[in-house]
Chain A
Amino acid sequence: MMKYLVLIAYFFCQLTSADQWQSDHSLSELAYSVNFEQLPIKGQFKDFAVNYSHQQQLRVVVDITSADMGNSDINEAIREFDWFNIKQHSQAIFLSETIEAVSEGAFIARGTLQLKGITKPVSVPFNWQLSDSPELTQHASMSGALTLNRSDFSIGSPEWASGDQIGLDVSVSFKVKMSSTASISNAPE
């Protein structure tokens, strides 16, 4: 009996001490840039959610169907089979396994990115800045950038595999407003 009580108490403590951070959709941005005939064009995913907690680590879910590149023809094309193939793969998910502090406010989340049905290890460097707020709700800004190779995820294949017209390197950047309702909040550890 005592053993069970200890276990219950243990889980209860874990739950309360765990901050649940969530992104504020309207104040967040997930953008990318790729070369189009040698000049960059920009795109963004309008719908995505970032969650962070001590147990779950960092979890980013991106609605691929919300991709927007500011051109109706391109928007149509990237949804096709050769590119994002959104009929079969409408979501991308990043899950961190470890988060390492690099310096004051700077971290690297190492984990896996599942994109177009392919899972690859990806490291996401990011800055985490806690806003001073006396309220119960805590706010933080999270930002970072990384470069992905689209061929790792079979995006733009096979016709576009050379990268001559549409570059292979895709620069991804994000600025996310996070908020936590927990009373105690910590930066990722």
Chain B
Amino acid sequence: MAMRNTETRWGWPSKLLHWLTAILILIQIPLGYYAEELKLSPLKLDLFVWHKSIGILILLLAIERLLWRMIGTIPKALDTSVLQRRLAQLAHATLYGLMIALPISGWITTSAANIPTKLFWLIELPAITGPDEALKSMAAEVHEICVTLLIIILVVHIGAALRHHFILRDSILKRMWF
């Protein structure tokens, strides 16, 4: 399997990072909602350690993917309308934006809430702000708006991939598959 991306297909690092991120996001969203709803308990605290750990992992993977895109190339868009290409670009850009904004807003929330974090109970995550109740509420709200937006874009992203694969029967999903 090729490492580098070409004009027609993705190399294995891009595929691996894509699917790893996909799995993590699909765990992360329900995990976040579930932990938030729980009443205060040891389980709730543990689930939030997982949520924060996975979130920072997603952030690192997103940065890694952006760097990989920058130093290499990405496959060309298929022959679709200009509008479709623009929408796809917008969706992908938004996904990247959210993969950065969500972990960062979560990180600000936990820092401003004065809660320390040891990622996977192994690595201490430094606080990026001091204790600040107002900032905590604001960051938590941004976090929630971002996750709502993420769910919408994900539905579009997955829906579009499935449409390309099953209805248009083109290579878009295949070239991201192994």
Contact = CB atoms under 8 A, between A and B. Distances in A.
Contacts of A73: 40, 113
Contacts of B42: 159-160, 162, 164-166
A72 B116 contact: no
A189 to B, nearest CB: 42
Interface of A: 36-41, 69-74, 77, 159-160, 162, 164-166
Interface centre among A37, A160, A165 (most CB of B within 10 A): A37
Given A37-B46, A70-B114, 6 more contacts: A37-B118, A70-B131, A73-B40, A159-B41, A159-B42, A160-B42
Contacts of B124: 39
B117 A72 contact: no
B133 A72 contact: yes
Contacts of B113: 71, 73
> Looking at chain B, what size class is its interface with the partner chain?
10 to 19
A41 B133 contact: no
Interface of B: 40-42, 45-46, 49, 113-118, 121, 124, 131, 133
B114 A41 contact: yes
Contacts of B116: 36-37, 39-41
A74 B114 CA distance: 10
Contact of A37 (B41, B49, B114, B131): B49
B45 A165 contact: yes
A41 B115 contact: yes
Contacts of B131: 70-71
B117 A37 contact: yes
Interface centre among A40, A70, A74 (most CB of B within 10 A): A70
Nearest to B44: A165
A152 B61 CA distance: 45
A69 B114 CA distance: 9
Nearest to B41: A159
Nearest to B125: A39
Nearest to B46: A165
Contacts of A70: 114, 131
A40 B114 CA distance: 11
Contacts of A160: 42
A37 B45 contact: yes
21 contacts: A36-B45, A36-B116, A37-B49, A37-B116, A37-B117, A37-B118, A38-B118, A38-B121, A39-B118, A40-B116, A41-B115, A69-B114, A71-B114, A73-B113, A74-B114, A77-B40, A159-B41, A160-B42, A164-B42, A165-B42, A165-B45
